[in-house]
Amino acid sequence: MKYKFISLIAIAGFFSGCSSNEKPVDLTSSGTKSANKYQLGNVSEKSLSSAARLPGQLVPYNEVNIFPKVNGFVKRLYVDRGSIVKKGQLLMTLEAPEMESQLQSANSRFLQAQENTVASREKYRRLKEAAKEPGSVSPLDIDNALSKMKADEAMANSERSTVASVKTMLDYLNIYAPFDGMIIARNVSPGALVSPGKTADQPMLILQDIHKMRLTVYIPEDDVDKVDLNQPVTFIFNAMPGQQQTAKISRSANALGSMRSEAIEIDVANKNGQLKPGMYAEVRIPMLSGAKSLLVPNTAILRSTEREYVISVENGKANLVNIKEGLTGHDSTEVFGNLKVKDHILLHASDEIRQGDEIK
């Protein structure tokens, strides 16, 4: 009887619990609903104006390595590293004693040839005068005298050219500045033996024109056709933060280099001399994409070490579309891939979504 009473109490407690207002909590329904809530966007089409930030480097407007044209010894140096020079200024002189001997020898041969020419010309004149008397001089002697005179004149002209050539070589012993600029390197001292060499050899002097500089920027191959050459560029040198400058693109190479990039140059005035060759700058180059560019929101692009892609939605299924990025704007990015205008894409996609997953 005691056990029956306890059983009745247990059964009554069970039914009273079921009749209360509390219901069992479904722990899976809310998670499923939140997982199926995706925000969709569309692929748009318009022209995207943007700018690329690329590094640039200053190089001299003109630069020349000065080598000797003849063998000789350095006699005197008139400049040193850091010297400011003007075009045509004498930089250094060389000496070559053997060339002085060559000049004296050439002058002697020229004087001898001149004397022979004068003697031949006088002999021909006399024979021609004597030939006025019939039978006194044979025509053959006159012809021989004329030939001798012309040969001696030719020899004199040849020796004159030799003298001029040796004098020109002597002029090469004086080294002049080809343009205004600054000497940035001096690699010889008085008494040093110098000779014409290859471009790989060390030059005697290095001269740079730093009154105006070239800011060289290399545009990647993907962007070379998007550079707006008519718009000014802005740049800030790393050594002078906060001093933004503006200029126009002066010239472009119109060819790709070994790094698959095209070089453009911006002329920069160096009035106060603060700019130095080799300085780096961050250059903002205006770019304009084509008239029909496909744009997607920046948040729709997924990136991994293997690829870049967006997730489009077709008939409620996920379709992973590989893309290649172009210009990037404030909130949109130009893309290239198997997409069309007004295609639905996930705005905040996850790399956990796989091809063919159901999107609700």
The phi and psi torsions of 196 (rounded to 5 degrees) equal: -60, 135
The yes-or-no verdict on residue 32 having pLDDT over 60 is: no
The contacts of residue 310 (CB under 8 Å, 6+ apart) are: 296, 300, 301, 302, 320, 321, 323, 335, 337, 339, 345, 346, 349
Residues of the chain with pLDDT > 90: what percent? 16
pLDDT at residue 47 in the model? 65
> What is the distance between the alpha carbons of residues 193 and 142, in angstroms, rounded to a whole number?
56
| Residue 17 clears pLDDT 50, i.e. is over it | no
Class of domain 101-169: mainly alpha
What CA–CA distance (Å, rounded) separates 251 from 267?
9
Residue 122 in this model has a pLDDT that exceeds 80: yes
Distance of CA 143 to the CA centre of its chain: 69
Q: Give the integer Cα–Cα distance in Å for 62 and 211.
A: 10
CATH 2.40.30.170 intervals, the chain = 53-60+211-288
- Tokens, residue 11: 């059964």
For the 292-346 domain, the top CATH level (class) is mainly beta
pLDDT at 351 over 80: yes
Per-residue confidence (pLDDT) for residue 199, from 0 to 100: 57
Q: Provide mean pLDDT across the span 21-45.
A: 57
CA 84 to the chain's CA centroid? 27
Give the sign of the dihedral formed by CA 42, CA 47, CA 49, CA 53: positive
State the pLDDT at residue 251: 86
pLDDT at 50 over 60: yes
Exposed, middle or buried: residue 344 (CB in 10 Å: 0-12, 13-18, 19+)?
middle
**Which residues, other chains included, contact 54 with Cβ-Cβ below 8 Å and sequence gap of 6+?**
217, 218, 219, 282, 283, 285
Reported as a single tens digit per residue, the pLDDT across 292-322 is 678 888 888 898 888 899 989 888 888 888 9
Residue that is written with structure tokens 């190089």 in the block: 59
Which residues lie closer than 8 Å to 275 by C-beta, 6 or more apart?
Answer: 58, 210, 213, 237, 268
Residues of the chain with CATH 2.40.420.20: 292-346
Q: DSSP class of residue 358?
A: B
The model carries a pTM of 0.57
CATH 3.40.50.2300 fits 53-60+211-288, yes or no: no
**Token pair for residue 179?**
């343009």
Partners of residue 19 on adjacent β-strands: none
User: Cα-flanking dihedrals φ and ψ of residue 150, to 5°?
Assistant: -65, -40
The pair of structure tokens assigned to 115 is 């004397």
Per-residue HEC secondary structure of 165-228 comes to HHHHHHHCCEEECCCCEEEEEECCCCCCEECCCCCCCCCCEEEEEEEEEEEEEEEEHHHHHHEC
Chain segment 64-115, per-residue pLDDT in tens: 999 998 888 999 999 999 999 999 999 999 988 887 778 888 888 888 888 8
Worst-scoring range by mean pLDDT, 25-29, 105-109, 188-192, 236-240?
25-29
Location of each CATH 1.10.287 domain in the chain:
101-169
